[in-house]
Structure 1
Amino acid sequence: MATAPSASTFAALLRAEGVTVVEVGNWETHNRNSKGPWGPVHGVMIHHTVTTGTASTVNICRRGHSSLPGPLSHGVITKDGRAHLIGYGRANHAGLGDPDVLRAVIDEKTPPTDNQATVDGNRHFYGFECENLGDNKDAWPDAQIEAIVRVIAAICRHHGWSARSAIRHMDWQPGKVDPRGPGMDWDDILVRVEARLAGDKPGPTPPAAPAPLPKPVKPTVDLSKLVAAAKSNPAAAGTPVSYSGVKTVEAALVDAGLLEKRYSDGHYGTSTITAYAAWQRSKAGGGYRGKDADGIPGKDSLIRLGKKYGFTVVA
């Protein structure tokens, strides 16, 4: 037996469990209390709406209709996983049900088959309608199922109840079939509620894993442009050829320990010539000798340098 918390506390405990809450209009005072008491509360009842569309579903459940005035529940859990709070207090959601089922909920046991309709469920249950056509074909999205789990867990956590304090409308009233459909596994929902309750404390929905960083694009060095720069820069006269790929090659030579960093300046001068010649003579660079190790890049030695130090070669 329990007393429901204030409306503000109710919204807060849902949010503390990580539920995305939408407060609709005057939900805190929208109820059917003039028609009878609400409480003591003993459990949570889950329904499906036999509707589609967030806005229309919330509106129907909030207002009701001529033969069954709203609110038709305390909240509406839509397919996007949000819980829309539409009323607080007595709500027209449960109707008359089986006293043996109520006793099982109070005792936190598996409910027996419902075969009576003599007890006022609107008095004793929190009710959440869930957007679904109820045709046993309309699927339940993961976000909606997770919200159901968290809503039940929030209420049970507040009252010190176990997951067995949650039932379906079909468990309560003979002839009801809700909730049902692909993705609605009630036993799994109760297991997940218990798992949450077994944790130390509630928490927000875990953030999505960050998207993997894009792989860095390897710089590209054009062999012909690099050779032109290498042959022009050491010349005593004329305008040196400028090419951005020179800095890429120089950075690789620095990493190889063949060029001092201060000479990595984009100018294929004497220091770079000397460093590249050392690379050509090295085993990793091809083991070249004589004129083949003159410091002017060749295709093979440049490809080897690129593979080892992270750039590609256009030859």
Structure 2
Amino acid sequence: MATPLTADKLLAALRAEGVKVIEYKSWRTHNRNSRGAWGPVNGVMIHHTASTGTAASVDLCYDGYAGLPGPLCHGVVDKSGTVYMVGHGRANHAGSGDRAVLDRLIAETPPYKPTVNNTDGNARMYGFEAVNLGDGKDPWPEAQLDAIERVSAAICRAHGWTAGSVLGHLEWQRGKVDPRGFDMTTMRERVERRLKVSPGARPAAPRFEPFPGADFFRRYPRSPIVTAMGRRLVAEGCSAYAQGPGPQWTVADKNSYAKWQRKCGFTGADADGWPGRVSWDRLKVPKV
């Protein structure tokens, strides 16, 4: 548990981590403190806005809407990686979540899987909204993911927390899906790597592509990751391709991956062609 950072200290921590920050309107005094406490704080929560456009998204998160006044978070991360500070203090972002998840968050022991909504999260977490439709198709530019990583690391570093203090809204509140489009376990791994280097520095890029999450493939993505994966499958003698591989995930990719899973010793439902973390890590897909 920790006392929330002052506005000045929060801003300094973000900038020291290399985050491009814009102070929006009266963010330093914009909060919902009249409705309840903010603090002690235990973590950093990541959301998606379910909106498009920087200006409209920042305005929405600052003002809120009928039935849910702003601020709806503390900062908005746009697709360029710029962070707009829209509030400091209690914000309407986390809502009610699972007390058991809070206990694990305090102990910094993910994964987090909510089953009930019985505890106020607005009092206990920093919140950052990332501009994204959240439909599973809207892309997540690397600049935006890098900013989410840096924001999370900055706050963890300032409080002496580990990457286990970072979670997604879907990991706190039953029924939520955000952030949709990237994997929070992978994001925590990024934050963990960053915390091992000095603020503002860029951690050495991993040699291999981290597991992008099971949902990534089930959305039939078009990505250079798919091409790199396919080439590794061919190299391992697990090709089911008539042509390619290419960037579009297809049935041929799924069938090829099933061959790889069987080569790894998996059977049955564990060799259904949908990539999992263990088999993916063994495949060693080059970083793209």
Superposed pair shares fold, TM > 0.5: yes
Q: Which moved more, 1:185-194 or 1:124-133?
A: 185-194
For residues 204 and 75 of structure 1, the distance between their equivalents in structure 2, rounded to whole angstroms, comes to: 22
TM-score calculated relative to the size of structure 1: 0.63
Structure 2 residue aligned with 1:160: 160
Q: 1:189: how far off?
A: 1.4
Name the CA shift for 1:170/1:96 in 2 (closer, same or farther; >3 Å): same
Q: 1:3: how far off?
A: 0.4
Amino acid of the structure 2 residue aligned with 1:197:
L
Q: 1:112: how far off?
A: 3.9
Structure 2 residue aligned with 1:195: 193
Work out the percentage of aligned pairs sharing the same amino acid. 56
CA contact (8 A) 2:70 2:91 kept: yes
Unaligned 5+ segments in structure 1 are 207-315
Structure 2 residue aligned with 1:18: 18
Query: What are the equivalent positions in structure 2 for 1:78-227 lying under 5 Å apart?
Result: 78-181=78-181, 184-199=182-197, 201-203=198-200
Structure 1's consecutive aligned runs of 4 or more residues displaced over 3 angstroms after TM superposition are none
CA contact (8 A) 1:105 1:111 kept: no
CA contact (8 A) 2:112 2:172 kept: no
Deviation digits for residues 152-201 of structure 1, max 9, x if unmatched?
A: 000000001000100000000011000012xx2322211111111111x2
For residues 125 and 26 of structure 1, the distance between their equivalents in structure 2, rounded to whole angstroms, comes to: 20
CA contact (8 A) 1:19 1:205 kept: no
Deviation digits for residues 193-250 of structure 1, max 9, x if unmatched?
A: 1111111x202669xxxxxxxxxxxxxxxxxxxxxxxxxxxxxxxxxxxxxxxxxxxx
Structure 1 residue aligned with 2:260: none
- Paired residues in the alignment total 203
Flag the structure with larger Rg: 1
Amino acid of the structure 2 residue aligned with 1:143:
A
CA contact (8 A) 1:73 1:87 kept: yes
CA contact (8 A) 1:19 1:204 kept: no
Amino acid of the structure 2 residue aligned with 1:103:
D
Deviation digits for residues 123-170 of structure 1, max 9, x if unmatched?
A: 000000110001111110000000000000000000010001000000
Instruction: State whether structure 2 residue 60 is matched by structure 1 residue 67.
Output: no
Structure 1 residue aligned with 2:208: none
Structure 1 residue aligned with 2:267: none
CA contact (8 A) 1:163 1:193 kept: yes
Amino acid of the structure 2 residue aligned with 1:140:
W
Secondary structure, in 3 states, of the residue corresponding to 2:27? Answer: coil
Secondary structure, in 3 states, of the residue corresponding to 1:167? Answer: strand
CA contact (8 A) 2:194 2:202 kept: no
Deviation digits for residues 54-104 of structure 1, max 9, x if unmatched?
A: 000000000001200000000000101011000000000000000010001
For residues 201 and 63 of structure 2, the distance between their equivalents in structure 1, rounded to whole angstroms, comes to: 30
TM-score calculated relative to the size of structure 2: 0.69
For residues 62 and 142 of structure 1, the distance between their equivalents in structure 2, rounded to whole angstroms, comes to: 25
CA contact (8 A) 1:45 1:167 kept: yes
Structure 2 residue aligned with 1:217: none
For residues 60 and 80 of structure 2, the distance between their equivalents in structure 1, rounded to whole angstroms, comes to: 18
CA contact (8 A) 1:15 1:204 kept: no
